[in-house]
Amino acid sequence: MDLVAPALLTGAVLGVLTGGSLRRVVDVRLRAWWLLAPAVGLQVVLALWHPGDGWRPGAALAASLGSLGLVALFCAANARLTGMPVVLLGVLMNTGVVAANGAMPVRLPAGASASERASMEESATHRPERDGDRVSFLGAIVPIPGPFGRASFGDLVVAVALVDVVYRASRPPRPRRRSETASGAEGDPVPVVGVDDAGEGVEDPAVVEVGLH
């Protein structure tokens, strides 16, 4: 997930450069946001994990899948946001390949040194690609800058979708093409003049003010 931070930053920059607002991004109401705290916590534990620390067999895999599962639940809870279902797809792609192989298989370059391979073997979440790996095309095989030097197709899907999520969230409400109404405070129809970042109708404030008098 080395691409997450660059993707969020790219989406924010593109949004601002094209007339969007970071305030709109900050104001987005995220559901089940607290799921991210334990997900990140598990990733921190996995980053500090080292063979010989006394972990039971399968504990690292369980922690990795638990973290990915929490992120998937967060994405599903916020599927109303444009682009978030695609983020969920990328997370599920990574979850599938990790579950199938016990860790994320990484295709090391042909000239990788013995120390690089040994370092990869010590990772709790990644390992060198092996013959017989399942769904190896979903492994970390795409060269990128970063600690492991490779990204999976799931990582790329997540990154592109996150750019879209942040960019769309920064945009002002877009007008609806067809006339739609929403129920007002007194039961009278209130025209909906736009759609916010969550895909919900935005009421015409002038009409709402008149209806309240």
One pLDDT digit (tens) per residue for the chain, 213 residues: 679 999 999 999 999 999 999 999 999 999 999 999 999 999 999 888 776 566 676 888 999 999 999 999 999 999 999 999 999 999 999 999 999 999 999 988 777 777 777 777 778 888 888 889 999 999 999 988 776 678 999 999 999 999 999 999 999 877 766 655 455 555 555 555 555 555 555 554 444 444 444
The domain ranges of the chain are 4-170, 180-212
- Would you state the pLDDT for residue 117? 75
DSSP result, 143-210: E-SSSSSEEEHHHHHHHHHHHHHHHHHHSPPBPPSS-EEEE-TTS-EEEEEEE-TTS-EEE-HHHHHH
